[in-house]
C-alpha cells in the first residue's frame, strides 16, 4: 500500500474546508453548507469577503450552534470584495490547518457522504478537485479559447486544469510550487513572473487569462505532482449563485466606475454567461420561495432542453434540502455513513 495512505483514515475529521462568503449570500446558502457538514466529518472555516456586520454575526451564531464544526469566522476583507483567489491566498498565508488545504463553494449541496472517494484519491495524489456546475454542458477548454475559464477542468488533449469549486491539496507541495514560481490561487496571467510564464510556455499551457487556481494547478503538475479531477454523484453544484446574489460591483469601491467583465447585476448579458446566470437566478428564486414557506417556481418553459432536467434536479434538491433543514441544522459531528 502506498505510504501516502497513512493518516488518511482520519482525513474527514482533520480536514478544514474554507468557504468564502460574499455580501449577504450566507442568508441563502447556509443550509447548503449545513448539508456539507451533515455528510462529512470535515470542519469548516467561514471566510467573510465584504460581508456586512449582521452577516458576520449570523455566521458566528451558526458557528456557536455547531461547536467544533466551524473553526472560525475569518474576515479577509471588509468594504471591498476581493477576488476568490485573493481570499484563498489570504487564508493559506495566515492559517495552518495541518497537512492539507481545502476549499469548497457554498452553492454545493451534499446529498450523501462524499469524502471517502476523495480520501481514496489522495492516497496516491497530491490534489483532488470536483464540482461541475449544473449549467455547464462540458468541462473541456475549446481549442480556440484564449483562456482557462473556471468551468474548464480539462484541456482538449486531456490535461487536467482542475476545478476552483472544491479542492483538497497536500499543503507542502502546494506551498513549494507557489513559492518556487511566485504564484497564488489569484494568479490570473498578466501578473506572472517571467520564470512562471516561461514554464507555462514550456509545458504548452500558456494562455491569455486563467481563473482561480488554474495556474497553480498547472505548475503543480509541471513540478511532478499528481492532480486528479473527480466528479461525485453525492454533490450537486449549481454554480454562480454567490455571483448572482452578490456581484462584485456591489462592493463600494466598484460603484464609481463602469462594471468590468463579470461584474454588475446584469453580468448574465455578457458573452458566455447566459446559462450560468439563468441557472443561478432560478436557484436563488427557488431558495427564496422555499425559505418563505411558499411554493417554489417551476422550471421556466423556455429553458434550454439540455438544461431543463438539471434545473428540475436543482428544484427538487433544494426543496428536499430545506424540508430536512431541522436535521441539517444539527450537522452531526462525524460522517456516520463513511
Adjacent-strand bridge partners of 74: 47
Q: How far apart are CA 204 and CA 208, in angstroms?
A: 13
Residue 12 contacts residue 40 (beta carbons within 8 Å): yes
Cα-based distances in Å from 158 to 147, 162, 210, 223: 16, 11, 17, 18
Cα-based distances in Å from 222 to 114, 168, 173, 227, 317: 29, 18, 12, 11, 39
Angle between helices 305-323 and 274-291 (to 10 degrees): 30
pLDDT at 249: 65
Phi, psi of 268 (to 5 degrees): -65, -15
Q: How many residues does the chain have?
A: 338
pLDDT in 10s for each residue of the chain, 338 residues:
344 444 443 456 679 999 999 999 999 999 999 999 999 999 999 999 999 999 999 999 999 999 999 999 999 999 899 999 999 999 999 999 999 999 999 999 999 999 999 989 999 999 999 999 999 988 999 999 999 999 999 999 999 999 999 999 999 999 999 999 999 999 999 999 999 999 999 999 999 999 999 999 999 999 999 999 999 999 999 999 999 999 886 545 545 555 565 556 665 556 667 888 999 999 999 999 999 999 999 999 888 888 999 999 999 999 999 886 544 444 444 443 33
Q: How far apart are CA 298 and CA 19, in angstroms?
A: 29
Assess if CATH 3.90.320 describes domain 11-229: no
All cell numbers assigned to 222 = 509541471
Nearest 5 degrees, angle CA 233-CA 169-CA 173?
Answer: 150
Domain-wise residue ranges, the chain: 11-229
Beta strand pairing call for 209-210 and 147-148: parallel
All cell numbers assigned to 49 = 469577503
Q: How far apart are CA 48 and CA 77, in angstroms?
A: 7
All cell numbers assigned to 14 = 482533520
Q: How far apart are CA 140 and CA 161, in angstroms?
A: 9
Q: How far apart are CA 54 and CA 193, in angstroms?
A: 40
pLDDT at 162: 98
Residue 116 contacts residue 93 (beta carbons within 8 Å): no
Amino acid at each position: 500500500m502506498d505510504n501516502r495512505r497513512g493518516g488518511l483514515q482520519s482525513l474527514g475529521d482533520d480536514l478544514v474546508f474554507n468557504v468564502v462568503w460574499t455580501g449577504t449570500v450566507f442568508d441563502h446558502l447556509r443550509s447548503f453548507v449545513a448539508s456539507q457538514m451533515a455528510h462529512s466529518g470535515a470542519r469548516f472555516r467561514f471566510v467573510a469577503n465584504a460581508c456586512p456586520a449582521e452577516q458576520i454575526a449570523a455566521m458566528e451564531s451558526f458557528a456557536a450552534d455547531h461547536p467544533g464544526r466551524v473553526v472560525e469566522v475569518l474576515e479577509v476583507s471588509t468594504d471591498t470584495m476581493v477576488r476568490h483567489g485573493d481570499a484563498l491566498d489570504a487564508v493559506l498565508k495566515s492559517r495552518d490547518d495541518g497537512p492539507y488545504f481545502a476549499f469548497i463553494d457554498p452553492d454545493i449541496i451534499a446529498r450523501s457522504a462524499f469524502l471517502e472517494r476523495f480520501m481514496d484519491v489522495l492516497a496516491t495524489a497530491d490534489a483532488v478537485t470536483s464540482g461541475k456546475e449544473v449549467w455547464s454542458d462540458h468541462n473541456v477548454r475549446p481549442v480556440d479559447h484564449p483562456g482557462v475559464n473556471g468551468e474548464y477542468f480539462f484541456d482538449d488533449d486531456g490535461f487536467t486544469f482542475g476545478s476552483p469549486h472544491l479542492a483538497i491539496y497536500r499543503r507542502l507541495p502546494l506551498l513549494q510550487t507557489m513559492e518556487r514560481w511566485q504564484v497564488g490561487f489569484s494568479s490570473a496571467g498578466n501578473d506572472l513572473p517571467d520564470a512562471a510564464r516561461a514554464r507555462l510556455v514550456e509545458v504548452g499551457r500558456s494562455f491569455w487569462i486563467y481563473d482561480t487556481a488554474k495556474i497553480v494547478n498547472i505548475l503543480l503538475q509541471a513540478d511532478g505532482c499528481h492532480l486528479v479531477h473527480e466528479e461525485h454523484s453525492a454533490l450537486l453544484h449549481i454554480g454562480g449563485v454567490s455571483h448572482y446574489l452578490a456581484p462584485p460591483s456591489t462592493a463600494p469601491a466598484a460603484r464609481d466606475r463602469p462594471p468590468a467583465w463579470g461584474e454588475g447585476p446584469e453580468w448574465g448579458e455578457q458573452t458566455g454567461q447566459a446559462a450560468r446566470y439563468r441557472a443561478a437566478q432560478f436557484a436563488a428564486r427557488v431558495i427564496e420561495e422555499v425559505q418563505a414557506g411558499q411554493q417554489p417556481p417551476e422550471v421556466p418553459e423556455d429553458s434550454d432542453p439540455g438544461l431543463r432536467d438539471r434545473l428540475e434536479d436543482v428544484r427538487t434538491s433544494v426543496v428536499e434540502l430545506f424540508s430536512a433543514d431541522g436535521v441539517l441544522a444539527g450537522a452531526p459531528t462525524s460522517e456516520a455513513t463513511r
